[in-house]
Structure 1
Amino acid sequence: MPHQQLTDRELAPDLTRGLMLSLIALAHAQLLADGGAWSGPGPSDAPLSDKVVQVFLTLFVDSRGYPLFAALFGYGMVQVLRKREPKWLKRRSWWLIVFGFFHVLLLSPGDILASYGVLALCFIGAVHWSNRRLFITAGIGAVAGALTYGMVLAAPMPVPDAASMPVDPVSSALMRISTFPFLTPLNAIMSICPLLIGIWAARERVLEHPALLRRAASLGIGAGVLGGIPQTLVTTGFLTPNLAAGTLHTFSGYAVGIGYGALIALAARGARSSTVVTALAACGQRSLTCYLAQSVAWLILAEPYLLGLSGDLSVVAASCTGLGVWALTVVGADLLSRKGRPGPAEALLRHLVYR
């Protein structure tokens, strides 16, 4: 089966997911960097190249990718409910929570699947809300999410004690799963606003309005980058972590994420079929599989009983590693697409939900 030829409207969500997975990889790869540079100040003696890349990561990557994925999830909720009864979305949500649990247990504490499942169960009725109610609730969610994660960013980063770190698979899994009851609701709170914006965008068919997309892209990315400047001063060591910078950084991340989505949707409208475009779209169509594949890579690279590279790389090297992992998932997704096969995770989820 050859590559599926996509229309502009069909291409935009898949192309967006495929591209945005690169930001997820860049963010998660920083666990390999000295000091875990994505969340706090890096080493004071870091080379200039690391500091330049750190500025880029803070302004354009950290807290900038997940809002768009949450918006795409909300967008997808509407698409599902246009074709199927709500019970199928509820079944899918419960299975996402199960997937998220095992994702944390087996691979990585940085899970978002369970949080999306919880959000879908809580906001399935939002598909029928008025626009006014959607935006008021989204605004409340934005403030709650920004303040919540702002407090996380403002808290002193603990220095890991090598003696207390898990050095075997069982201890590591137990440590990861202990974070599940805390990180799942945290990520859900942070994703309320973009999820509701995604629901609104699907209902209003925003992808069909290029003028609106252009305004959202320019204003969202521009305002978001300005809002990230104080946190950039924190991650480069000029300011100490503080609530104001962390809150503004998270709040502005919503704007950047939506701006990214609008920019890619505009690009998709005029995109011509090419090897790169079809490969990225294939990655987006198999985003669940590619997301989990990234976690497999972080497990192999970071765990002390495997390669044990956590904290050993420079920011530049960690970022290059992240992009390399993402590129491999794009190639893998493209190979599956050429054979006409879905991603294994998507196939399993579909079987469990719609059997």
Structure 2
Amino acid sequence: MSQLLPPDQSVQPAPPGRAAVSPAERWPLPDVLRGGAILGILFVNMQDFAGYDEWTQRGPDQAAQVFIDVLMNGKFVSIFALLFGAGMLMILDRASSRHIGAFRLLRRLLALLVLGALHGALLWHGDVIGLYALTGLLLLPPLLLRPPPWLLALAGSGLGLWWLALRVQDALGASSAARWSYTLASTPVGSYPALVGTRAGRLLSDLLADWSYNALWLLALFLLGMAAQRAGLLARPAHFRRLFRALLLGGAVLGLPLSCLLAWLNTQPTEAAGLWEVPVRMSSGLLLGVAYAAGTALLIAGGRPGVLRHLAAPGRLALSNYLGQSLVMTTVFYPYGLNLYRHVGALTCLLLALSLAALQLLVSGWWLRRSAQGPLEWLLRRLVYGRGALSVKPRSP
């Protein structure tokens, strides 16, 4: 771990050079946050899976959409991106040297890029794994210089404000024309082989287009997550209670009004509302996401995580759960499955997401009582560390 972290008897980091950590050595906060994020992202992704537009929802569906926008939209993906950045730094800090750590991190990012491409071609066009990996590659060279937490936070804040300014500039030039329907434009048509062919043909162009639009914002979140990791916030939340209280209060006071504005914008059918929605969604998502993370950290620091402790299991199986969500929901909505695309609204999607999230919560706990890793987590670790990857038997229930 970073030498900036003072000794803490409650945390047992892996010795430098070890390929992996055992379950007993894992920090609880990142796993709980990652589990909540991966399940929470499902509720927002349901719109794309099901193919409905937010501003077309009425009655109970509109109420469900407002609930999703205020409490979920942009929040969990922000937490997940912050943790992705923190995880990159963890890999470097666990290695016996910076060069070994950089090589492992490079292998991990390239492996995720391939897995993301397969996910995008075989299951769902909305993959973010490849996008995160491609963006993460940009940070590999500067990380070898071991930047301090304040510099990481400063760089992340600057890039984030720059990206938000660009999106505000886009919105200022918007018209009152009808809002463009992304879900209608991406309607799945044809058999499974035909859909795979279509997605594979557009994979590179879509990835580069998404990257050019989102790279600055993702870099900002990755850097902020790295700053939190290097400062020790994830390893020792009990040492930062005052900071977490400030983040909880500030994030909620600023994030909730912006989230309500987001919900209102997503009832409006104009191009201007669609463009303003982007900076409002991402800024409110980061603010309220940080408030969620800070509140979780305070509960863990106080030894009272309650039911949140169960989120650690899906957090340790985040990759398997993420791809599992795509497998289940594309089968439900796409033509080769139940073909419900554009046939249900936000309320039905909310209930479906709740059901699948509960199932993944239960299955993740059951799986980890029998195995130390999820199937895709094992594959990724093998690709990164080879045969030197640590294999740990799960604890007896």
Q: TM-score interval w.r.t. the shorter chain?
A: 0.7 to 0.9
Q: Which position in structure 1 is the counterpart of 2:181? A: 158
- 1:226/1:337 CA distance change after superposition, 3 Å: same
- Residue 312 of structure 2 corresponds to residue 316 of structure 1: no
- Which contiguous aligned blocks of 4+ residues in structure 1 show a shift greater than 4 angstroms? 4-7, 147-152, 159-165, 271-274
Distance 1:163 1:138 in 2: 32
Corresponding residue for 1:141?
159
RMSD between aligned residues: 2.8
Task: Please tell me whether residue 194 in structure 1 is matched to residue 221 in structure 2.
Answer: yes
- Maintained 8 Å contact 1:148/1:186: no
Change (3 A) 1:99 1:21: same
> Secondary structure of 2:139's match?
helix
Task: Specify the code of the residue in structure 2 equivalent to 1:17.
Answer: R
CA distance in 1, matches of 2:84, 2:188: 35
CA distance in 1, matches of 2:134, 2:183: 31
Return the alpha-carbon distance in structure 2 between the equivalents of residues 185 and 296 of structure 1.
Answer: 27
Give a deviation string over 1:78-99, Cα, whole Å, max 9, x none: 2211111211111111111111
CA distance in structure 1 between the partners assigned to 2:136 and 2:211 by the alignment: 13
Given that 1:32 and 1:313 are in contact with CA atoms closer than 8 Å, whether structure 2 keeps it comes out as no
For residues 64-84 of structure 1, the C-alpha deviation after alignment (integer angstroms, 9 at most, x for no partner) is 111111111111122211111
> Offset of 1:157 from its aligned partner?
2.1
Of 285, 289, 294, the residue aligned with 1:253 is 285
Report the CA distance between 1:294 and its aligned residue: 0.7
Retained in 2: the 8 A contact 1:17–1:287? yes
**CA distance 1:196–1:161, shift in 2 (3 Å):** closer
User: Shift of residue 32 of structure 1?
Assistant: 5.1
The reply on whether 1:52 has 2:63 as its aligned counterpart is yes
Contact preservation (8 Å) 2:50, 2:344:
yes
Q: Tell me if 1:103 matches 2:107.
A: no
2:147 is the alignment partner of 1:129: yes
Q: Distance in 2 between matches of 1:314 and 1:21?
A: 22
Aligned residue number for residue 48 of structure 2: 31
CA contact (8 A) 2:314 2:364 kept: yes
Which of residues 242, 251, 270 in structure 1 aligns to 2:302? 270
Q: Matched residue pairs, number? A: 343
AA at the equivalent of 2:221: P
Q: What are the superposed Cα offsets for residues 174-212 of structure 1, whole Å, 9 maximum, x if unpaired?
A: 333413332344444332222111111111112331111
1:145–1:191 Cα contact (<8 Å) kept: no
Residue 228 of structure 1 aligns to a residue whose secondary structure is helix
User: Which is further off, 308-317 or 87-96?
Assistant: 308-317
Give the distance between the partners of 1:250 and 1:90, measured in 2 at CA: 28
Alignment of 1:158-177 (within 5 A): 158=181, 165-177=188-200
- For residue 74 of structure 1, the aligned residue among 64, 68, 85 is 85
1:65 is paired with a residue whose SS is: helix
For residue 108 of structure 1, report the CA deviation from its aligned partner: 1.1
Residue 265 of structure 1, CA deviation? 1.5
100, 109, 115: which one aligns with 1:93:
109
Q: Structure 1 160/294 Cα, relative in aligned 2: closer, same or farther at 3 Å?
A: closer
User: Counterpart of 1:62 in structure 2: which amino acid?
Assistant: N
- For residue 162 of structure 1, report the CA deviation from its aligned partner: 9.6
**Partner amino acid for 1:342?**
Q
Query: How far apart are 1:52 and its partner, in Å?
Result: 2.1
Structure 2 distance, partners of 1:212, 1:102, is 41
- Aligned twin of 1:83: 94
**TM-score, normalised on structure 2?**
0.78
1:283 deviates by 0.9
How does the TM-score come out when normalised to structure 1? 0.86
Task: Kindly indicate whether the alpha-carbon contact (under 8 Å) linking 2:245 and 2:294 is maintained by their aligned counterparts in 1.
Answer: yes
The code of the aligned residue for 1:169 comes to: Y
Inter-partner Cα distance in structure 2 for 1:172 and 1:147: 36
CA contact (8 A) 2:61 2:346 kept: yes
* Residue identity (%): 25
Contact in 2 for aligned 1:223/1:255 (Cα 8 Å)? yes
Name the CA distance, whole Å, in 1 between partners of 2:353 and 2:121. Answer: 22
